[in-house]
Amino acid sequence: MLIITIVVVALALATLAATAFVVASRRRSPARGLPDNGGGALPAPTSTPQAPEAASPPARAAPQTEQAPSEEIPSAAPADIAGPALDTTAAPAEATTAAPAEATVPVSPLSPESPAAPERPARFRDRMVRARTLLGGYLSAVRQKGKIDEATWEDLEEALILADVGVLATARLIDDLRLRVKSGEIADPASLISALRGDLVDLLAGDRVLHMSDEGTTVWLFVGVNGVGKTTTIGKVGLREASNGHRVVMAAGDTFRAAAADQLETWAQRAGATVIRGNEGGDPGAVVFDAVQHAAAKACDLVLADTAGRLHTKTNLMEELKKVRRVAERPPGVVTETLLVIDATTGQNGLTQARQFAGAVGVTGVVLTKLDGTAKGGIVVAIAEELGIPIKLVGLGEGVADLVEFSPEEFVDALLSES
């Protein structure tokens, strides 16, 4: 009996030991099918709740796309061209790359949500730190002097030239102020600075509205040399206009590199806009034409057309832009704005660009980008003074809320701020 009891107890102990070993070894090795999360950490138990389905966008069916025959300019885009603007049945990105040669393809927004609410707009004073540090120093010196003498004029002139106001505009401003000092209207440095402020604000006055056409499909054309911020600006403007209730189509008219259209698509997704794109090296005019046709067919009211930015010294770019503009004007297209995008950091070079583009395509307004990174903000004065082209928008950074309407008062206050 004793022997039987000992055998039973021994068997029970052996079973317990075997069970403990199996459990321990299971806990050490990763469960099959689960990723090895490395570092010797335990794998997630199979009961770990999974991320809800809604967190990843559901796969969507590609629209039935008919190809726009774009061999010639302009190509007649078929009325039933696919991918309705603001359509909630968005096409996956691959649908766009499957297009045969020379076709322009509408790319519907991947995100069906309404456009993101705009953030708080950037303020000139906060962003124009470099410009106001430069001018502020000179103006403080002028003010502290207590009287107006030759050194005052030298300081003022140097400050304006350094801020890239330009020789011509600076000379005109100084001449006007000198006359007013002579006539007794201005008697001390404080009044001199406030008169300069007034002159600058007056000089920068102009039509800052981005116009819409009452008839047809409004087209805003964006032109400018490489890297100035055209595509980024279109993205920001598209988001803003979509938030204002417009139905926006973006035309990827920069066909020199596919990345430009991809860049536009990223912005379009945020704006809930449709992108019409062609193949790399394709005809930009065809893309813009198809974008206008598509907008008209889908009751969209605004086409934002991107263009390539080759060096302004190459005459063929200007010829190409003229052609794009002519094509964009074909009914129902109405070009109400041709916006020249200028990088503020290039200073006086921006003035040269403005002259060339204005001569070729009739610029209606300037978008001055990257004002946040330069002390050369005075270029806006040179453009307004010499060419009479109004500054309509200003880029104060890379974010959506960093594209703001130009305000002469705010701009001049920031430029002349002494604190």
Ligand X SMILES: Nc1nc2c(ncn2[C@@H]2O[C@H](COP(=O)(O)OP(=O)(O)OP(=O)(O)O)[C@@H](O)[C@H]2O)c(=O)[nH]1
Residues of this chain that interact with ligand X (CB under 6 A) are 224, 226-232, 254, 260, 309, 369-370, 372-373, 395-398, 402
**Is 230 or 370 the residue whose CB approaches Mg ion more closely?**
230
- Long-range contacts of range 240-243, CB-CB < 8 Å, 24 or more positions apart? 240/118, 240/403, 241/271, 241/302, 241/304, 242/115, 242/271, 242/272, 242/273, 243/115, 243/116, 243/117, 243/118
What's the min distance (Å) between Cβ of 341 and Mg ion?
9
User: Rounded CA gap, 364 and 358, in Å?
Assistant: 8
Strand (E) or helix (H) holding 353 = helix 349-361
Contact by Cβ (8 Å): 225, 355: no
> Nearest-CB residue to ligand X?
395
What's the min distance (Å) between Cβ of 260 and Mg ion?
5
Query: Does residue number 82 form part of the binding site for Mg ion (CB under 5 A)?
Result: no
Binds Mg ion by CB under 5 A, chosen from 260, 297, 328, 342: 260
What's the min distance (Å) between Cβ of 345 and ligand X?
9
What's the min distance (Å) between Cβ of 323 and ligand X?
18
**Is 134 or 228 the residue whose CB approaches Mg ion more closely?**
228
Query: Does residue number 307 form part of the binding site for Mg ion (CB under 5 A)?
Result: no
Contact region with Mg ion (CB under 5 A), list: 114-122, 205-213, 226-234, 359-367: 226-234
Strand (E) or helix (H) holding 302 = strand 302-305
What's the min distance (Å) between Cβ of 147 and ligand X?
40
**Is 115 or 224 the residue whose CB approaches ligand X more closely?**
224
Give one DSSP letter per residue of 206-263, joined into a string: --------SSSEEEEEEE-STTSSHHHHHHHHHHHHHHTT--EEEEE---S-HHHHHH
Contact by Cβ (8 Å): 108, 85: yes
User: Rounded CA gap, 232 and 230, in Å?
Assistant: 6
- Phi/psi-derived region of residue 161, left when phi > 0, alpha when psi is between -120 and 50, beta in every other case: alpha
Give one DSSP letter per residue of 256-282, joined into a string: S-HHHHHHHHHHHHHHT-EEEE--TT-
Q: What is the largest CA-CA distance in the chain?
A: 132
**Total chain residues near Mg ion (CB under 5 A):** 3
What's the min distance (Å) between Cβ of 111 and ligand X?
21
Residue 335, beta-bridge partner list:
219
What's the min distance (Å) between Cβ of 293 and ligand X?
24
What does residue 242 show for φ and ψ, rounded to 5 degrees?
Answer: -65, -40
- Give the list of residues 6+ apart from residue 191 with CB closer than 8 angstroms, or none: none
**Residue 293: both structure tokens together:** 């046709």
Query: Does residue number 218 form part of the binding site for Mg ion (CB under 5 A)?
Result: no
**Is 169 or 234 the residue whose CB approaches Mg ion more closely?**
234
Contact region with Mg ion (CB under 5 A), list: 54-62, 126-134, 243-251, 255-263: 255-263
- Which among ligand X, Mg ion, none contacts residue 149 (Cβ within 5 to 8 A by kind)? none
What's the min distance (Å) between Cβ of 280 and ligand X?
13
**Is 139 or 371 the residue whose CB approaches ligand X more closely?**
371
Whole-Å CA distances, 392 to 31, 45, 234, 408: 61, 58, 14, 10
Q: Is 170 helix (H, G, I), strand (E, B) or coil?
A: helix
Contact region with Mg ion (CB under 5 A), list: 4-12, 67-75, 168-176, 256-264: 256-264
Binds Mg ion by CB under 5 A, chosen from 108, 231, 338, 346: 231
**Is 230 or 312 the residue whose CB approaches Mg ion more closely?**
230
- Which among Mg ion, ligand X, none contacts residue 265 (Cβ within 5 to 8 A by kind)? none
- Which among Mg ion, ligand X, none contacts residue 226 (Cβ within 5 to 8 A by kind)? ligand X
Query: Does residue number 170 form part of the binding site for Mg ion (CB under 5 A)?
Result: no
User: Rounded CA gap, 262 and 245, in Å?
Assistant: 24
**Is 90 or 260 the residue whose CB approaches ligand X more closely?**
260
Report the 10 Å Cβ neighbour count for 34.
12
What's the min distance (Å) between Cβ of 309 and Mg ion?
6
> Nearest-CB residue to Mg ion?
231
Contact positions vs Mg ion (CB under 5 A): 230-231, 260
